[in-house]
Structure 1
Amino acid sequence: MSFEEARLRLRGSMAPVVTPFNEDESLDLETFKSLIDWQIENGSHGISVTGTSGEPSSLTVEERLTVMETAKKAVAGRVPFVPGTGSVNHNEALKLTKAAQEMGADGALVIVPYYNRPNQQALYNHFKTIADSVDIPIILYNIPGRTAVNLEVQTIARLAEDCPNIIGIKESNKDFEHVNRVLLRAGRHFNLYSGIELLCYPMLAIGGAGHISATSNVAPKQVAEIYNAWTAGDVQRAQDMHFEMMELNDVLFKDTNPAPAKAALGMMGKIKPVLRKPMALPSEELQKEIRQVLKNYGISLKDEINA
């Protein structure tokens, strides 16, 4: 598949699936496979793992490889599979991205290194080295609120020009002017994905390729419907879904992702609501609010199913 063909295939609502744990914080791979099946059955157009929602910084490299391999087998070619392979450690990112290619992933999502705050030339060098090491599509991942550094428009444009396999970017950036300029400078063929829930619809309106939204962990059908309605030309439906999802989006980000999403999935009976330290579940007060919002959306809860 050419990179141009990949641009067309890697579109829509790509679910960034959480990593389920057992009570002892070990990987719960059987539940993980069930989550992936549920996502695909409910219309997600692609699957991503070990991104922010997957708690990658709490996993060892070996565990990340296990999660990636398990997901690849579970997806079984039904939809595109794009694992997160970025790391604060350059060599780890190289290893994980090469592993994604070896296991037959459809691409790799590579986050801006976090904590160490590299300058723009350093970021260019980091991403170009990774892109040059593989021949699968690379999607950059810019999330300045978590990494403490913004991948600037000029750097994105340089990478898009110099690396044919860098086909797009996930922008978890609330600066809507910035994301407009990404498409202007990198080219309107560049795949722009929203990682900000309230910008999923607006980014489609300027030519975005879709979204990688943490909310799809809880409501995959509804999040996919925003993209489906837009591409079908039903602008009113897409707008309606945008506003309809706002209450759920808001409550799922009242604490650090993926804590609210995991709490919600626990209430839904999809996973054991466990995060690895230093992460923890939201406060009891927020969990009550999450539960009420899930009820407002008509989402079935575990205790109600068993009643």
Structure 2
Amino acid sequence: MSYNEIKQRLRGSIAPVVTPFDAEGNIDFETMKNLINWQIESGSHGISVTGTSGEPSSLTTEERKQVMELAKKTVNGRVPFVPATGSTNHDETLELTKFAQEIGADAAMVIVPYYNRPSQHALYKHFKAVADSVDIPIIIYNIPGRTAVNLEVKTMARLVEDCPNIIGAKESNKDFEHVNRVLLHCGRDFLLFSGIELLCYPMLAIGGAGSISATANVEPAKVAELHDAWFEGDIKRAQDLHFELMELNDILFAETNPGPVKAALGMMGKITPKLRLPLDLPAEELQERIRQTLQKYGLLEKVKN
């Protein structure tokens, strides 16, 4: 499949699925299968794993590979599969991105390395080396709030010009001027995904391809419906869903993702609500607010007693 053909498929709500753990903190692979199947049945247009919502820095390299492989088999071609393969370690990023190609991923999402705070020149060299190491498409993941460095527009445009398989970016960037300039300088056919929940709809309005939103873990059907409505030309419905989801978005990001998301999924009976330290579930006061919000959205009605 050509890069252009893949670009046509990578649209809409790409759900960044959490990594479920059992009570002892081991990966719960059976629950992972159930989550992925639920996402696809709910209308999500694609599946991603081991991104921010998947706690990649709490997983070993081998565990990340195990999650990626299980997810690829579970998706089974029903929707595009875009695992996150980036790390603060260059060699590990290369290893995981090559593994994504080996198992047949449709694309790999590679985060700007966190903690190191590399220069723009170093970022260019890092991403070019990753892109050159594989034939599958690369989606750059720019999230300056968690990496402490912003991949500048000119650097991204240079990468797009020099690396044909860099086809898009997930921008978790609250600077909407920056996001506009990404499309201006990288090309209007560049796949731009929002990673900021309140910018998912505005991103579509400027020509974005969709979103990779943690809220899709909890309310996949409505997040997917927002995109479906937009692409079908029902702008009023898309706007309504944008505002309808706002309160849920806010509560799910009241603390660092994926703590509130996993608390919510636990209340919904989807997972054992467990994170690996140094991340943890929210305190009880916030959990109660999450519970009340889920009740307002009708998300606790189907929980088995």
Q: Which amino acid aligns with 2:124?
A: Y
Give, as a single letter, the amino acid of the residue that structure 2 aligns with 1:10: L
User: Distance between the aligned counterparts of 2:4 and 2:78, measured in 1?
Assistant: 20
Residue 217 (1) aligns with residue 217 (2)? yes
Q: Distance in 1 between matches of 2:124 and 2:228?
A: 34
Matched, 1:196 2:180: no
1:102 partner amino acid: E
Equivalent pair of 1:194/1:213 in contact (CA under 8 Å): yes
SS of equivalent to 2:173: coil
Q: Structure 2 counterpart of 1:305, which letter?
A: K
Listed as ranges, the matches of 1:1-307 within 5 Å are 1-300=1-300, 305-306=304-305
Paired with 1:259 and 1:305, the residues of 2 have a C-alpha distance of 22
1:7–1:191: 8 Å Cα contact kept in structure 2? yes
Q: Do the aligned partners of 2:15 and 2:46 also contact (CA within 8 Å) in 1? A: yes
Q: Tell me the distance in 2 between the aligned counterparts of 1:225 and 1:165.
A: 29
Q: Amino acid of the residue matched to residue 83 of structure 2?
A: P
CA gap 1:125/1:111 in 2 versus in 1, 3 angstroms = same
**3-state secondary structure, aligned to 2:32:** helix
Distance 2:140 2:5 in 1: 18
Unpaired runs of 5+ residues, structure 2, are none
Residue 75 of structure 2 aligns with an amino acid whose one-letter code is V
1:246-292 deviations in whole A, cap 9, x for unaligned? 00000000000000000000000000000001100001000000000
**Matched residue of 1:139: which SS?**
strand
Instruction: Tell me how far 1:301 sits from its aligned partner.
Output: 5.2
> What is the Cα deviation at residue 4 of structure 1?
1.0
- Equivalent position SS for 2:37: helix
Shift of 1:54: 0.1
Structure 2: distance between partners of 1:296 and 1:33 = 28
Question: Partners of 1:277 and 1:172 in 2: how far apart?
Answer: 24
Distance in 1 between residues matched to 2:46 and 2:33, nearest whole Å: 14
1:144 to partner: Cα distance: 0.2
Whole-Å separation in 2 of the counterparts to 1:301 and 1:280:
26
The residue identity in structure 1 corresponding to 2:14 is M
Identity %: 73
Q: CA deviation at 1:225?
A: 0.9
Following superposition, the deviation at residue 6 of structure 1 comes to: 1.2
Q: Is the 8 A contact 1:251 1:290 kept in 2?
A: yes
Alignment CA distance shift 1:301-1:281 (3 Å): farther
Q: Return the alpha-carbon distance in structure 1 between the equivalents of residues 5 and 75 of structure 2.
A: 20
- Counterpart residue identity of residue 283, structure 1: A
Partner of 2:15, secondary structure, is strand
Q: Which moved more, 1:216-225 or 1:3-12?
A: 3-12
Q: CA deviation at 1:300?
A: 2.2
SS of corresponding position for 2:233? coil
- Tell me, what secondary structure is at the counterpart of 1:170? strand
Structure 1: 4+ residue segments shifted above 3 A: none
Letter of the 1:27 counterpart: I
3-state SS in 2 of match to 1:248: helix
Instruction: With the length of structure 2 as denominator, give the TM-score of the two structures.
Output: 0.99
TM-score by length of 1: 0.98
- The secondary structure found in structure 2 opposite 1:305 is coil
CA distance in 1, matches of 2:301, 2:165: 42
- Which amino acid counterpart does residue 228 of structure 2 have in structure 1? N
Tell me, in whole angstroms, the C-alpha distance in 2 between the residues paired with 1:158 and 1:25: 42
Q: Whole-Å Cα distance in 2 between the matches of residues 49 and 152 of structure 1?
A: 25
User: 1:305 deviation in Å?
Assistant: 3.0
What CA distance in whole angstroms lies between the structure 2 residues aligned with 1:254 and 1:248?
10
Q: SS at 1:47's partner residue?
A: strand
Q: What is the SS of the residue equivalent to 1:57? A: helix
The count of corresponding residues between Structure 1 and Structure 2 is 305
Contact 2:269–2:304 (8 Å) recurs in 1: no
Cα deviation code 1:31-71 (max 9, x no counterpart): 00000000000000000000000000000000000000010
CA contact (8 A) 1:267 1:301 kept: no
